[in-house]
A = this chain, B = another copy of it.
Amino acid sequence: MGLVRLDVSYDGTDFHGFARQPGLRTVQGTLEEVLTRLLSTPIEVHGSGRTDAGVHARAQVVHFAQESGPPPDRYPKVLARMLPRDIVVVSGCEAPPGFHARFSAVRKTYRYTLQRATVEDVFTRRYAWHVPESLDLVRMSDAAKHLIGKHDFTSFCAAATPTENKIRTIFDLYLQERGSYLDFICTGSGFLQNMVRIIAGTLVDVGLGKMTPEDVLVSLHARDRRSAGRTAPPSGLTLWSVEYSE
Protein backbone atom coordinates (compact mmCIF):
# COMPACT_ATOMS: atom_id res chain seq x y z
CA MET A 1 0.00 0.00 0.00
CA GLY A 2 1.50 3.31 -1.01
CA LEU A 3 0.42 6.90 -1.48
CA VAL A 4 0.80 8.40 -4.93
CA ARG A 5 0.99 12.15 -5.55
CA LEU A 6 0.14 13.44 -9.03
CA ASP A 7 0.55 17.01 -10.27
CA VAL A 8 -2.21 17.58 -12.76
CA SER A 9 -2.96 20.39 -15.20
CA TYR A 10 -6.33 20.87 -16.81
CA ASP A 11 -8.24 23.18 -19.07
CA GLY A 12 -11.34 23.80 -16.95
CA THR A 13 -13.49 25.14 -19.80
CA ASP A 14 -15.40 21.92 -20.40
CA PHE A 15 -15.53 20.63 -16.81
CA HIS A 16 -18.15 21.27 -14.14
CA GLY A 17 -15.31 22.08 -11.76
CA PHE A 18 -12.90 19.81 -9.91
CA ALA A 19 -15.22 18.17 -7.38
CA ARG A 20 -17.01 14.94 -8.30
CA GLN A 21 -20.75 15.40 -9.02
CA PRO A 22 -23.02 12.58 -10.14
CA GLY A 23 -23.75 12.68 -13.86
CA LEU A 24 -21.49 15.67 -14.57
CA ARG A 25 -18.08 15.82 -16.21
CA THR A 26 -15.64 16.81 -13.45
CA VAL A 27 -11.87 16.58 -13.04
CA GLN A 28 -12.00 14.44 -9.90
CA GLY A 29 -14.65 12.17 -11.43
CA THR A 30 -12.62 11.73 -14.62
CA LEU A 31 -9.40 10.93 -12.72
CA GLU A 32 -11.18 8.45 -10.45
CA GLU A 33 -12.86 6.73 -13.36
CA VAL A 34 -9.61 6.30 -15.28
CA LEU A 35 -7.58 5.19 -12.22
CA THR A 36 -10.30 2.74 -11.18
CA ARG A 37 -10.18 1.24 -14.66
CA LEU A 38 -6.37 1.13 -14.72
CA LEU A 39 -5.98 -0.42 -11.27
CA SER A 40 -9.13 -2.59 -11.42
CA THR A 41 -10.16 -1.44 -7.95
CA PRO A 42 -12.19 1.58 -6.78
CA ILE A 43 -9.84 4.57 -6.39
CA GLU A 44 -10.72 7.72 -4.48
CA VAL A 45 -8.72 10.79 -5.45
CA HIS A 46 -8.14 13.71 -3.04
CA GLY A 47 -7.31 17.14 -4.42
CA SER A 48 -5.62 20.13 -2.79
CA GLY A 49 -8.96 21.91 -3.11
CA ARG A 50 -11.90 22.45 -5.41
CA THR A 51 -11.82 24.69 -8.42
CA ASP A 52 -15.04 26.17 -9.84
CA ALA A 53 -16.52 25.24 -13.21
CA GLY A 54 -14.40 26.87 -15.94
CA VAL A 55 -11.37 27.44 -13.68
CA HIS A 56 -8.06 25.95 -14.85
CA ALA A 57 -5.08 24.38 -13.14
CA ARG A 58 -1.45 24.50 -14.13
CA ALA A 59 -0.50 22.25 -11.20
CA GLN A 60 -3.34 20.93 -9.07
CA VAL A 61 -2.05 18.31 -6.64
CA VAL A 62 -3.97 15.10 -5.94
CA HIS A 63 -3.17 11.95 -4.02
CA PHE A 64 -4.61 8.46 -3.80
CA ALA A 65 -3.73 5.17 -2.15
CA GLN A 66 -2.82 2.13 -4.25
CA GLU A 67 -2.24 -1.49 -3.29
CA SER A 68 -0.21 -2.07 -6.43
CA GLY A 69 0.15 -0.30 -9.72
CA PRO A 70 2.68 1.37 -11.98
CA PRO A 71 5.73 3.06 -10.42
CA PRO A 72 4.45 6.58 -9.55
CA ASP A 73 6.80 8.33 -11.99
CA ARG A 74 5.27 6.30 -14.84
CA TYR A 75 1.80 7.81 -14.32
CA PRO A 76 2.21 10.76 -16.73
CA LYS A 77 2.89 8.36 -19.64
CA VAL A 78 0.41 5.68 -18.62
CA LEU A 79 -2.46 8.11 -18.06
CA ALA A 80 -1.71 10.19 -21.19
CA ARG A 81 -3.21 7.33 -23.21
CA MET A 82 -6.33 7.07 -21.05
CA LEU A 83 -7.26 10.63 -20.11
CA PRO A 84 -9.17 13.09 -22.30
CA ARG A 85 -6.92 15.75 -23.82
CA ASP A 86 -7.99 18.48 -21.41
CA ILE A 87 -6.37 16.77 -18.40
CA VAL A 88 -2.63 16.12 -18.35
CA VAL A 89 -0.67 14.46 -15.53
CA VAL A 90 2.52 16.50 -15.38
CA SER A 91 4.39 14.42 -12.81
CA GLY A 92 3.92 11.54 -10.39
CA CYS A 93 5.85 10.53 -7.28
CA GLU A 94 5.48 8.52 -4.09
CA ALA A 95 4.03 10.71 -1.34
CA PRO A 96 5.47 10.50 2.21
CA PRO A 97 3.35 8.61 4.77
CA GLY A 98 0.56 10.80 6.12
CA PHE A 99 0.63 13.11 3.09
CA HIS A 100 -2.74 14.62 2.18
CA ALA A 101 -3.11 16.83 -0.90
CA ARG A 102 -5.46 19.16 0.97
CA PHE A 103 -4.48 19.04 4.63
CA SER A 104 -0.70 19.01 4.06
CA ALA A 105 -0.80 22.08 1.75
CA VAL A 106 0.74 25.19 3.31
CA ARG A 107 0.49 27.75 0.50
CA LYS A 108 -1.42 28.04 -2.74
CA THR A 109 -0.86 30.40 -5.64
CA TYR A 110 -3.52 31.42 -8.14
CA ARG A 111 -3.05 33.51 -11.25
CA TYR A 112 -5.91 35.59 -12.62
CA THR A 113 -5.36 36.89 -16.18
CA LEU A 114 -6.93 39.85 -17.96
CA GLN A 115 -6.56 40.51 -21.66
CA ARG A 116 -6.46 44.27 -22.16
CA ALA A 117 -6.28 44.84 -25.94
CA THR A 118 -9.25 46.50 -27.65
CA VAL A 119 -10.16 43.32 -29.52
CA GLU A 120 -10.36 39.95 -27.78
CA ASP A 121 -7.61 37.48 -28.71
CA VAL A 122 -9.44 34.40 -29.96
CA PHE A 123 -6.57 32.13 -28.85
CA THR A 124 -6.70 33.16 -25.18
CA ARG A 125 -10.44 33.65 -24.79
CA ARG A 126 -10.70 30.42 -22.78
CA TYR A 127 -7.91 31.50 -20.39
CA ALA A 128 -8.35 35.22 -19.83
CA TRP A 129 -11.00 37.84 -19.05
CA HIS A 130 -11.19 40.43 -21.82
CA VAL A 131 -11.30 43.93 -20.29
CA PRO A 132 -10.75 46.45 -23.11
CA GLU A 133 -11.41 49.55 -20.97
CA SER A 134 -8.49 51.57 -19.66
CA LEU A 135 -7.35 50.54 -16.15
CA ASP A 136 -5.50 52.54 -13.50
CA LEU A 137 -2.80 50.07 -12.47
CA VAL A 138 -1.40 52.26 -9.71
CA ARG A 139 -4.72 52.35 -7.88
CA MET A 140 -5.18 48.62 -8.46
CA SER A 141 -1.77 47.94 -6.87
CA ASP A 142 -2.70 50.17 -3.93
CA ALA A 143 -5.97 48.27 -3.46
CA ALA A 144 -4.16 44.92 -3.68
CA LYS A 145 -1.84 45.92 -0.82
CA HIS A 146 -4.85 46.34 1.50
CA LEU A 147 -5.74 42.68 1.01
CA ILE A 148 -2.34 41.27 1.95
CA GLY A 149 -2.19 39.85 5.47
CA LYS A 150 -4.43 37.89 7.83
CA HIS A 151 -8.03 39.06 7.49
CA ASP A 152 -11.63 37.95 7.77
CA PHE A 153 -12.52 37.60 4.07
CA THR A 154 -16.33 37.38 4.51
CA SER A 155 -16.75 40.24 2.00
CA PHE A 156 -14.60 38.38 -0.51
CA CYS A 157 -16.33 35.03 -0.69
CA ALA A 158 -19.61 33.79 -2.13
CA ALA A 159 -22.43 34.88 0.19
CA ALA A 160 -23.62 31.27 0.55
CA THR A 161 -20.22 29.89 1.64
CA PRO A 162 -20.89 27.38 4.44
CA THR A 163 -17.32 27.60 5.85
CA GLU A 164 -17.53 29.01 9.41
CA ASN A 165 -14.02 30.40 9.76
CA LYS A 166 -13.46 33.02 7.08
CA ILE A 167 -10.07 34.14 8.30
CA ARG A 168 -7.36 33.52 5.75
CA THR A 169 -3.87 34.88 5.16
CA ILE A 170 -2.80 36.37 1.85
CA PHE A 171 1.00 36.26 1.77
CA ASP A 172 1.33 38.13 -1.49
CA LEU A 173 -0.87 39.74 -4.15
CA TYR A 174 0.64 41.70 -7.00
CA LEU A 175 0.08 42.76 -10.61
CA GLN A 176 2.29 41.54 -13.46
CA GLU A 177 2.14 42.90 -17.01
CA ARG A 178 2.84 40.57 -19.97
CA GLY A 179 2.34 42.49 -23.21
CA SER A 180 -1.39 43.15 -23.49
CA TYR A 181 -2.08 40.76 -20.59
CA LEU A 182 -2.28 41.63 -16.92
CA ASP A 183 -1.98 38.95 -14.25
CA PHE A 184 -2.94 39.11 -10.60
CA ILE A 185 -0.68 36.70 -8.70
CA CYS A 186 -2.15 35.74 -5.35
CA THR A 187 -0.48 33.49 -2.79
CA GLY A 188 -2.26 32.54 0.41
CA SER A 189 -2.74 29.96 3.14
CA GLY A 190 -5.99 28.88 1.55
CA PHE A 191 -8.94 30.42 -0.23
CA LEU A 192 -12.69 30.62 0.30
CA GLN A 193 -15.28 29.93 -2.39
CA ASN A 194 -14.94 32.46 -5.28
CA MET A 195 -12.38 34.41 -3.23
CA VAL A 196 -9.78 34.96 -5.95
CA ARG A 197 -12.48 35.77 -8.52
CA ILE A 198 -14.03 38.37 -6.19
CA ILE A 199 -10.59 39.84 -5.50
CA ALA A 200 -9.95 40.02 -9.27
CA GLY A 201 -13.36 41.56 -9.98
CA THR A 202 -12.86 44.10 -7.18
CA LEU A 203 -9.39 45.07 -8.46
CA VAL A 204 -10.87 45.58 -11.93
CA ASP A 205 -13.64 47.75 -10.44
CA VAL A 206 -10.92 49.82 -8.76
CA GLY A 207 -8.98 50.02 -12.05
CA LEU A 208 -12.11 51.29 -13.82
CA GLY A 209 -12.70 53.93 -11.14
CA LYS A 210 -15.91 52.33 -9.83
CA MET A 211 -14.28 51.82 -6.42
CA THR A 212 -11.33 53.43 -4.67
CA PRO A 213 -8.48 51.57 -2.96
CA GLU A 214 -9.94 52.85 0.34
CA ASP A 215 -13.31 51.25 -0.53
CA VAL A 216 -11.50 47.91 -0.55
CA LEU A 217 -10.25 48.49 2.98
CA VAL A 218 -13.75 49.53 4.07
CA SER A 219 -15.19 46.43 2.39
CA LEU A 220 -12.75 44.14 4.19
CA HIS A 221 -13.97 45.53 7.53
CA ALA A 222 -17.65 45.41 6.51
CA ARG A 223 -17.72 41.58 6.33
CA ASP A 224 -20.51 41.81 3.76
CA ARG A 225 -20.23 40.37 0.26
CA ARG A 226 -22.24 43.30 -1.16
CA SER A 227 -19.51 45.76 -0.15
CA ALA A 228 -16.89 44.23 -2.46
CA GLY A 229 -16.75 44.32 -6.26
CA ARG A 230 -18.08 41.89 -8.82
CA THR A 231 -17.06 38.23 -9.24
CA ALA A 232 -14.69 37.95 -12.21
CA PRO A 233 -15.50 35.18 -14.74
CA PRO A 234 -13.91 31.77 -14.10
CA SER A 235 -12.05 31.60 -17.45
CA GLY A 236 -9.29 33.98 -16.28
CA LEU A 237 -8.42 31.93 -13.19
CA THR A 238 -5.71 29.28 -12.95
CA LEU A 239 -4.58 27.35 -9.87
CA TRP A 240 -0.87 27.92 -10.41
CA SER A 241 0.88 25.91 -7.68
CA VAL A 242 0.42 24.26 -4.30
CA GLU A 243 3.24 24.15 -1.80
CA TYR A 244 3.85 21.60 0.96
CA SER A 245 6.19 21.73 3.90
CA GLU A 246 9.33 19.62 3.58
Q: Is the CB of B127 within 8 A of A88?
A: no
Residues of A in contact (CB 8 Å), total 22
Partner of A87, one of B91, B121, B122, B123: B122
17 residue pairs A–B, Cβ–Cβ below 8 Å: A9-B122, A9-B123, A11-B122, A11-B125, A76-B118, A76-B119, A80-B119, A80-B120, A85-B120, A85-B122, A85-B125, A86-B122, A88-B120, A88-B121, A90-B119, A91-B119, A123-B127
Shortest C-beta distance, A84 to chain B (Å), equals: 10
Nearest first, the 4 closest Cβ-Cβ pairs linking A and B are: A88-B122, A9-B122, A11-B122, A90-B119
A156 interface residue, CB < 8 Å from B? Answer: no
A10 interface residue, CB < 8 Å from B? Answer: yes
Q: How many copies are assembled?
A: 2
- Hey, which chain B residues are within 8 Å of A11, CB to CB? 122-123, 125
A116 interface residue, CB < 8 Å from B? Answer: no
Which residues in window 192-227 of A have CB below 8 A to B?
A: none
A56 interface residue, CB < 8 Å from B? Answer: yes
- Hey, which chain B residues are within 8 Å of A120, CB to CB? 80, 85, 88
- Hey, which chain B residues are within 8 Å of A56, CB to CB? 123
- Hey, which chain B residues are within 8 Å of A121, CB to CB? 9, 88
A122 to B56, CA, bound (A): 10
- Hey, which chain B residues are within 8 Å of A58, CB to CB? 123
When each residue 74-97 of chain A gets 1 if its CB lies under 8 Å from chain B and 0 otherwise, what string results? 001000100001111111000000
Residue of B nearest to A7 (CB): B119
A120 to B89, CA, bound (A): 9
